[in-house]
Structure 1
Amino acid sequence: MNPNEITPHLFRTEYSKIVAVLCKKFDIKHIEIAEDIASETFLKASEYWAANGLPENPTAWLYTVARNKAKDYFKHLSVIEKNIGEEFKTTRTEQQSIIEFDIQNISDSQLEMIFSVCNPVNSQETQICLALQILCGFGVEEIANAFLSKTETIKKRLQRGRESLRNHHFKLDILHENDILSRLDTVLTTLYLLFNEGYFSKTNNLLIRKDLCLEAIRLILILTDNPLTNTPKTNALLALMCFQSSRLEARLNHEGEVILFDEQDESLWDQALIEKGNYYLIQACSTNTTDISKFHIEAAIAYWHTTSTNTDKWSHILDLYNQLVLMEYSPITALNRTFAFSKVYGNKKAIPEAESLSLTEHEYYHGLLGYLYAKINKDKAICHFEEAIKITKSKTEKQTLQRQINHLKETDTL
């Protein structure tokens, strides 16, 4: 395998694990130290692997280098010794024993990391931004996309958030039950955004990034293994991820262009993941609680999407979107609701519904109107698709929209 292909993948999956383990073991006051060590590890990997080829176990190679760099860092740099004091001046044997990159330690470290970063000294939005960057390895642009915000706004938010953590003596520690329960909603929202970026990415010209989806599922599975965090809302979010992931293989063609839901090959849907989604959705609804979250509703919507034989499924989906819009409005939710509305009442009646949203600066708004007008007014459909192309930054989306324009023009010439 080409090192240039595997290194970015490993960076996404292993960088945050290395940072979490280092922060936990050394109780580093400035988290940037752990991030620097992790970055240096990957820099060495990219240089060494390019010259010598991939090692037999690239992940273990990274952990060994990170471990050695951490030991050397604390042994040789006097500025670090001055900051951390005599308490951390251990022998080489002791150092080897305290930095372990086994599966359990990585999971524990990441779980403690995300709950520690989601500290109420910062606003919830800042907590989520920090968790996405530190734990999930998101860049500023990816976080800005997740929040539908400007990159400069996110940069300032991250800077203030990190400074606040430092001023409040940020450290990884075993949290009390009240801390975990009070921060769980923020943690779940972080994992929700992580999954969404993988499921419908706007960065790196990749519409789907399976590594992000898998990482989100891996982390939330850790939560379901802990009695404190194995809540109905946690299970609802996991159900949603399973249902959505079940259709990943059917969402792109061989050219990397998106395949609309109506055109997807259902034989490519992963039935095992659908069954897992059903299981976790049942778990989410099995307790006698009235606390129905947006994750419950979105999971139910995703469930109906996977039931291809039910003729009334779009009526169920529309009812659920009506609830979701009232619970937590967002432009994407409103547009998705309008799509479901078109499935129930037809494109002609859905057009006024869509136009009333007036989301003229949103590419999905124009993409939806292009879809709705396609069989009613091709000229208007083409205009909306062209407007969507102007707005979107995604190369993949531009290609998909252009394909739809070409298809409309071809039908005119037949």
Structure 2
Amino acid sequence: MQEGLPAHNELLPHLFRQEYAKMTAVLCRHFGLKHIEIAEDIASETFLKASEHWAINGIPNNPTAWLYTVAKNKTKDYFKHIAVFETQIKQALKSGEIDSEQGFEFSHQHLADSQLAMIFAVCNPTNSTESQICLALQILCGFSVEEITNAFLTKTETIKKRLHRARTNLRNDDFQIKALSETEIKLRLDTVLKTLYLLFNEGYFSKTNNQVIRKELCSEAVRLALFLTENPLTDTPQTNALLALMCFQSSRLEARTNDKGETILFDKQDKTLWDKSLIEKGNYYFVNACSGNELSKYHLEAGIAYWHTTSTDENKWQHILELYNQLILMEYSPVTAMNRTFAFAKVHGCEKAIPEAEKLNLTESNYYHELLGYLYADNDIDKAIDHYEQAIKLTKSKTEKQTLTKEIERLNKKKSNG
């Protein structure tokens, strides 16, 4: 047993998030997508065995290697279970759909190759774009239904139906993880990039598990985007722009929360905590992204993130506002509209930004009320407090409620002293 490791009930959830999707991807490559449930069952049983074994015997010296060894052994055992083999798998095996256990491995390169192959296989035009992304987030990224619902800002039942239809279509169409043609890769790349974008955002602006930031999701999105830049067929300006955006955003992760997990607003962040090496990497990929004439939403968002990391230019908020103006015309979203209003306030002042915010009328959004609370804070404390209180009622995050409550306390103190 390795000393210094957290208790198994703390370590396992972390490993589950980090390794379950990778394990499933390799197993699906082995079994074929038609039998995805088999792959998911083996991966789930592996973690169940870990929870039981580690509770009694302690955490092994190399927990990750232990998990993959168990998964590999369970896969071999699966083929030895004659009843299941004869009744469900034999015909598929004869037809070459499922590989034999020869060459089955969990090497780093095999994990990387399998995940990329998996995401491109799932992002197939047989399903709608939304369904492709939902399924990729669930299978490849290990997202729960709740997390996917948050990413799409839609209802839980809608997501469940999309996932069910998408899985049914994959089974009926007999999909397998295989090498794709250049044309197929190009046709699916936009959906793959959108999936990685949503994966990163769920980490950077998390709405689940009472966490404001989930760094492991951000790291996973960066890792997969980096793989795409290393392949000539997927090393496109859009891919580089997305990776640049992720690097710029990731550079500020350590400064975005305090030791209690509460959000620190951009203006109050300790800039010495920003990761300069990630900013430099962001600059590198941003230059690569601008090598042609292509302009995507990722280019504009990367540009906005770039200016956020630049503290020397006096006109940086003007640059940011101009980029938001372009972005909102290219792809409108409520979040973009609210972020644009914040930038507008930085350029023209909070008082002028209030009408811009109020005409958005996003009264069911806690972020909308947080924005108005911020804008009213210096002009009308009572209104600011009212909006912060509405934001508290609308948010599900315990950490966010604590942050907003502190802001209300600050304003009340300011009011009583004034």
Compute the TM-score of the two structures, normalised by the length of structure 1.
0.96
Please give the alpha-carbon distance, in whole angstroms, between the structure 1 residues aligned to 2:331 and 2:46: 42
Listed one character per residue, the Cα deviations across residues 231-285 of structure 1 (whole Å, up to 9, x for unaligned) are 0000000000000000000000111110000100000000000000000000000
Structure 2 residue aligned with 1:230: 235
Alignment of 1:158-237 (within 5 A): 158-237=163-242
TM-superposed deviation, 1:86: 6.2
TM-superposed deviation, 1:195: 0.2
TM-superposed deviation, 1:82: 3.2
319 and 28 in structure 1: CA distance in 2 versus 1, 3 angstrom threshold: closer
Alignment of 1:4-403 (within 5 A): 4-27=9-32, 29-85=34-90, 88=93, 97-287=102-292, 289=293, 291-403=294-406
Q: Which amino acid aligns with 2:26?
A: V
Count of residues paired in the alignment: 408
Please give the alpha-carbon distance, in whole angstroms, between the structure 2 residues aligned to 1:348 and 1:316: 20
Listed one character per residue, the Cα deviations across residues 84-118 of structure 1 (whole Å, up to 9, x for unaligned) are 326748xxxx9664210001111111111000000
Whether the 8 Å CA contact 1:74–1:81 is kept in 2: the answer is no
Listed one character per residue, the Cα deviations across residues 139-196 of structure 1 (whole Å, up to 9, x for unaligned) are 0000000000111110111001100111111211111111100000000000000000
Please give the alpha-carbon distance, in whole angstroms, between the structure 2 residues aligned to 1:77 and 1:41: 21
TM-superposed deviation, 1:81: 3.6
Whether the 8 Å CA contact 2:33–2:174 is kept in 1: the answer is no
Whether the 8 Å CA contact 2:345–2:353 is kept in 1: the answer is yes
Please give the alpha-carbon distance, in whole angstroms, between the structure 1 residues aligned to 2:201 and 2:188: 20
Please give the alpha-carbon distance, in whole angstroms, between the structure 1 residues aligned to 2:79 and 2:23: 16
Listed one character per residue, the Cα deviations across residues 192-227 of structure 1 (whole Å, up to 9, x for unaligned) are 000000001000001100000000011111111100
Question: Identity of aligned pairs, percent?
Answer: 69
TM-superposed deviation, 1:78: 2.2
Stretches of structure 2 that go unaligned for 5 or more consecutive residues are: none
Single out whichever of 172-181 and 21-30 deviates more from structure 2: 21-30
Listed one character per residue, the Cα deviations across residues 298-348 of structure 1 (whole Å, up to 9, x for unaligned) are 000000000011110000000000000000000000000000000000000
TM-superposed deviation, 1:79: 3.0
Please give the alpha-carbon distance, in whole angstroms, between the structure 1 residues aligned to 2:66 and 2:349: 57
26 and 311 in structure 1: CA distance in 2 versus 1, 3 angstrom threshold: same
Please give the alpha-carbon distance, in whole angstroms, between the structure 1 residues aligned to 2:79 and 2:32: 12
Whether the 8 Å CA contact 2:33–2:171 is kept in 1: the answer is no
Single out whichever of 345-354 and 7-16 deviates more from structure 2: 7-16
Q: Which amino acid aligns with 1:51?
A: I
